[in-house]
Structure 1
Amino acid sequence: YRLRIKNVPKFASSKMMKELLAKNGCEQVKIQKAPKWDYCFATLKTEEQQYYVLNKLKGIKFKNRELSIQVDNVTEKDRQALFDRRKNEKQQNIEQSGIQKSPEEMLADQVTPLHIYEYQAQLEIKQRGIIKSLETFRDKMDELYNKSQYHSSWLQEEFDFKLPLDLKPMIHSPVLKGYRNKCEFTAGLNLKGEKTVGFLLGAYKDGHNSVLEPDNSIHVSGIAKKIAKAMQNYIRQSLYDVYDRKTKQGNWRQITVRSQNCGNIMIIIQIHPQGLSKEQIDQEKSALAEYFKMFAKEENFDLTSLLVQIYSGVSNGMSEDPLDCIFGTPFIHEEMMNCRFRISPRAFFQTNTAAAELLYQQCGDIIKEIYDPKDFSESPTLIDVCCGTGTIGIALSKSLGTTIKEVVGIELCEEAVEDAKINASLNEINNAEYILGPVEKNLFALHNFSNKTSGTAVAIIDPPRAGVHKNVIKALRKCRAIDHFIYISCDHNAAIQNFVDICRPINKDFHGVPFKPVKAIGVDLFPHAKHVELIIEFRR
């Protein structure tokens, strides 16, 4: 049951619209909003909920615009027709291109698009991408300062590639194959119609619904491939069908494997409960526990955690529904930089442990360069924004010793915050505090430092792919204690607006002395894929 909400500002995100609806008494609404849309969709589970939301939102305004809401239901027949049309269009495009590839080659191009290049060439492609993003950032800053009353000398400095900061050579991953410590596999049908566990061949929105085994996926670890194969064998013997996103029928949905360098293994199995009684679900859980205990013994690996999630929603991916631990503990551990970290099922942890260690070491080196004991009488507080399980703050606090006075972490995921507190204790870090909630709604952690002596705090931001809310940047700029901070981006294109807001001249929205970029360095955590982590050091 869908509503179309019109007259929405294009800059509004799904998150902003969801918060707007929640403020007006409309919870549990799924929002779909693309960046270029001046509308969005709100999807409800029942017709009663649909009309409740429709009535609650009548006459509501957002950013001084009155929103227009109307019923916009899509029937099952309409949805099936859309799926088939997209599938046919995609097939026609492939045929017209004249390029014939095997399904395995198509999957490799999809999940590891740079696999056809030698590794050094991959690094060069990623470095050129970073340069292009930094050039865009430079041009935007030139435009802003040309329109303002202020002058910025740092924009006139030129380093390599005419960039206004020092771009260092890319740091490569120590591991090139099987490096991913987390893989999410889909249960579906392969091209022969057989129950299969692996990766979707193409995007579902393009009409693709077939699943291929990950046998030839070079970024997937050997143990993850074995577990996927074992789950596939189990499902093929099962009386229950795999879940079909097109027909919305079936039970087996998704299998997540977390395989850490220290040997800990977590398996999460997601099941749709339709047509199953509680007794049948309980029987399946018992059977799965016995099956994987035996498999782990045969393959000689440490099955640390086996969990089942019952999820009846439409979208793919792990939901907020409860997880039932049917064997072992509901968490696993990883070791990195002489630290031991607990990881819960939903908590974020870098997917390439060996390369993440190099990433964190680079951050530590930057802080050591800044806080030379000769120049600072007081050790700084490390403010860890989007801290996850606390890995960066704890690892740096331990490796830098007295260079760091204390750690303050802010994180949205409740499980991750709990992990962070336990991780601080595990590693005997007694000077760490963790705050639960969205960063933009917990800015008091920064306000506490607003009037402290310059240089008494240093911030690290390691946000999700889309970057942080502009209110976070505003708070950082107003925080007088912070003279330096480090931004870690896993999508340098998406983060450009954050970079601009960090450095833009003072105006009515952005107070505080702006920062300037000092140096940048790419760290490749994703061999054969397009993404790369980018570290930028900013200084007032």
Structure 2
Amino acid sequence: MPKKPTNAPVQKNERIDVTFLDLTHEGMGVAKVDGYPIFVPDALPGEEADVKVVKTVKNYGFGRLMKRHVESEQRVDPPCPIYHWCGGCQLQHMNQDAQLHLKREQVVNALHKYMGRDDIPVHETIGMDEPWAYRNKAQVPVAERDGELIAGFYAKRSHHIVDMDHCLIQGDQNDAAIQVVKNIMKRYKIKPYEEASGRGVIRHIVARSGRLSGEVMVMLVTNGEELPHKKKIVEDIRQEVSGIHSIVQNINPKKTNVIYGERTEILWGETYIEERIGKLRFALSPRSFFQVNPVQTEALYQKVLEYAELRGNETVIDAYCGIGSISLFLADEVKKVYGVEVVGEAIRDARKNAKLNGIANVEFSVGKAEEVVPWWRAALGIQADVIVVDPPRKGCDEKLLQTMIEMQPERIVYASCNPATLARDLRILADGGYDVKEVQPVDMFPQTTHIECVVSIRRKDM
């Protein structure tokens, strides 16, 4: 029998009765035995259950729910038949109000942990009227099982693919396109990529759609240039995928978990599809980053606009600008917007999108925000009245935060997809002379644990 870890009052394989007190940010139930936390999937606060301990380390353990004695009023039956295996969603067993409350609490808890603040107003999470079929992009890995090609999302905490015939959070066009292409791959006996050996052809099937345009892009991510029966596959996709506008091959020969390779070739159709947010049109190229929930993106951007408090004469810097979506959303309300993004392809798309919408008062540059923004200030004398940041999950680079503090804009608007790194960065800005005024969570990813939020930040002397 393995030794019991120091401070652990339970052992692996032990059966215990517990009451769940809380949820982790990953959606697992939290119970405690003599102060020792046990994390258990598919458990909700207030529920009582018989749990089997499956793993223990020094400061916490994991369990498997064996029998539920008391059920939470927040519990609902997940409508997805593969929910308990698939890792794509984590919260389908919670009702929508409970999900929105949980996501707000993530933000509140992060502000308390990293800033020591409980006084910052955090508004109720903005949810969706219909929190299903919202995603405009699906990236689905493929594999082989019992000689058959399968395609689906990874199982929870594993690299094991759960075969999927239908996904309830994908937009209907994406969902249908994935299944059609999956069947075409089977038809021509295209071998799936094997991670262990590095052999095989097809790695991922990607479908992207424009909610209002109805245009669909299909991308085949392959292990090399060769795609057997390429012409027939392209023709079948053209005939069988409703709304098809573009068919693309991305070549990724590296033995890696990274989805995309550096080379992308158009096999048929246009180089981009169109999406709309509000009155703006966006051309989405194969690897463009764009928010996957266009309905909630508009809600998020409206809140960015509100918190920017624009009067029409401001100079705005949009760091981490991507394809220019926030920059263009703000452009009508300001004198000038400068956007910066490290991905050159995204900046090309940003410039294309500015032309597509007839917007001339924006300027985009390629580079790291933490390098370009200081250069703008030192070499060009650019002084921002408002700075907007929408960084990746790791948050803002500390050099950029210090530059923002030195530039002393009147207002900063921070859009975040990670409450922990957000709160860390807010503490730096607060120490640098800024007040965090309010926070608005937005549920961009219903049925999952992820949360986006927008923060209003003002210089303390304003």
With the shorter chain as reference, the TM-score category is 0.7 to 0.9
- Alpha-carbon distance, 1:99 to partner: 7.1
Q: Which residue of 2 aligns with 1:33?
A: none
- Distance (whole Å) between structure 2 residues aligned to residue 382 and residue 427 of structure 1: 19
Give secondary structure in 2 for the equivalent of 1:231: helix
Question: 121, 133, 137: which is aligned to 2:114?
Answer: 137
**2:319 corresponds to which letter in structure 1?**
V
**2:303 corresponds to which letter in structure 1?**
Q
Query: What is the CA deviation profile of residues 41-62 of structure 1, one whole-angstrom value per residue up to 9, with x for unaligned ones?
Result: xxxxxxxxxxxxxxxxxxxxxx
Question: 232, 237, 243: which is aligned to 1:287?
Answer: 232
What TM-score results when the alignment is normalised by the length of structure 2?
0.78
**1:245 corresponds to which letter in structure 2?**
E
**1:104 corresponds to which letter in structure 2?**
I
> Which of the pair is proportionally richer in helix?
1
Question: 419, 436, 443: which is aligned to 1:524?
Answer: 443
Contact 2:205–2:221 (CA<8 Å) still a contact in 1? Answer: yes
Contact 1:173–1:523 (CA<8 Å) still a contact in 2? Answer: no
- Distance (whole Å) between structure 1 residues aligned to residue 129 and residue 317 of structure 2: 29
Give secondary structure in 1 for the equivalent of 2:345: helix
Give secondary structure in 1 for the equivalent of 2:365: strand
Question: 104, 111, 135: which is aligned to 2:88?
Answer: 111
State yes or no: 1:189 paired with 2:134: no
What are the residue-to-residue correspondences of 1:59-458 with 2, within 5 Å? 98=66, 104-108=82-86, 110-139=87-116, 163-190=118-145, 194-203=148-157, 206=158, 208-215=159-166, 217-262=167-212, 263-273=214-224, 281=227, 284-296=229-241, 301-368=242-309, 371=310, 379-398=313-332, 400=333, 404-444=334-374, 446-447=376-377, 457-458=385-386
Contact 2:142–2:149 (CA<8 Å) still a contact in 1? Answer: yes
- Alpha-carbon distance, 1:94 to partner: 10
- Distance (whole Å) between structure 1 residues aligned to residue 329 and residue 418 of structure 2: 23
- Alpha-carbon distance, 1:266 to partner: 1.1
Give structure 1 stretches of 5+ with no counterpart.
Answer: 1-88, 140-161, 373-377, 505-512
- Distance (whole Å) between structure 1 residues aligned to residue 189 and residue 123 of structure 2: 56
Contact 1:446–1:479 (CA<8 Å) still a contact in 2? Answer: no
- Alpha-carbon distance, 1:174 to partner: 4.1
Contact 1:186–1:199 (CA<8 Å) still a contact in 2? Answer: yes
Contact 1:199–1:214 (CA<8 Å) still a contact in 2? Answer: no
- Alpha-carbon distance, 1:499 to partner: 1.4
- Alpha-carbon distance, 1:461 to partner: 0.2
Query: What is the CA deviation profile of residues 414-466 of structure 1, one whole-angstrom value per residue up to 9, with x for unaligned ones?
Result: 1110111111111111111001011122123552599778xx52011001111
Contact 1:343–1:416 (CA<8 Å) still a contact in 2? Answer: no
- Distance (whole Å) between structure 2 residues aligned to residue 103 and residue 526 of structure 1: 19
- Alpha-carbon distance, 1:468 to partner: 1.4
What TM-score results when the alignment is normalised by the length of structure 1?
0.67
- Distance (whole Å) between structure 1 residues aligned to residue 284 and residue 378 of structure 2: 29
Query: What is the CA deviation profile of residues 467-510 of structure 1, one whole-angstrom value per residue up to 9, with x for unaligned ones?
Result: 11100001100003x11110001011132221121112xxxxxx
- Distance (whole Å) between structure 2 residues aligned to residue 452 and residue 425 of structure 1: 23
**1:409 corresponds to which letter in structure 2?**
G
Contact 1:181–1:351 (CA<8 Å) still a contact in 2? Answer: yes
Contact 2:251–2:261 (CA<8 Å) still a contact in 1? Answer: no
- Distance (whole Å) between structure 2 residues aligned to residue 212 and residue 493 of structure 1: 33
1:189–1:380 Cα change, 3 Å: same
- Distance (whole Å) between structure 2 residues aligned to residue 358 and residue 248 of structure 1: 43
- Distance (whole Å) between structure 2 residues aligned to residue 292 and residue 437 of structure 1: 37
Contact 2:304–2:415 (CA<8 Å) still a contact in 1? Answer: no
Contact 2:316–2:385 (CA<8 Å) still a contact in 1? Answer: yes
Give secondary structure in 2 for the equivalent of 1:166: coil
- Alpha-carbon distance, 1:199 to partner: 1.3
**1:527 corresponds to which letter in structure 2?**
P
Aligned residues: 390
Give secondary structure in 1 for the equivalent of 2:386: strand
**2:412 corresponds to which letter in structure 1?**
F
- Alpha-carbon distance, 1:106 to partner: 2.4
- Alpha-carbon distance, 1:525 to partner: 0.6
- Distance (whole Å) between structure 1 residues aligned to residue 152 and residue 174 of structure 2: 10
**2:323 corresponds to which letter in structure 1?**
T
> Which of the pair is proportionally richer in strand?
2
1:449–1:393 Cα change, 3 Å: farther
Question: 482, 493, 513: which is aligned to 2:420?
Answer: 493
**2:126 corresponds to which letter in structure 1?**
I
What are the residue-to-residue correspondences of 1:500-511 with 2, within 5 Å? 500-504=427-431
Give secondary structure in 2 for the equivalent of 1:168: coil
| Deviates most, 524-533 or 171-180 | 171-180
Q: Which residue of 1 aligns with 2:433?
A: 514
Question: 472, 486, 492: which is aligned to 2:400?
Answer: 472
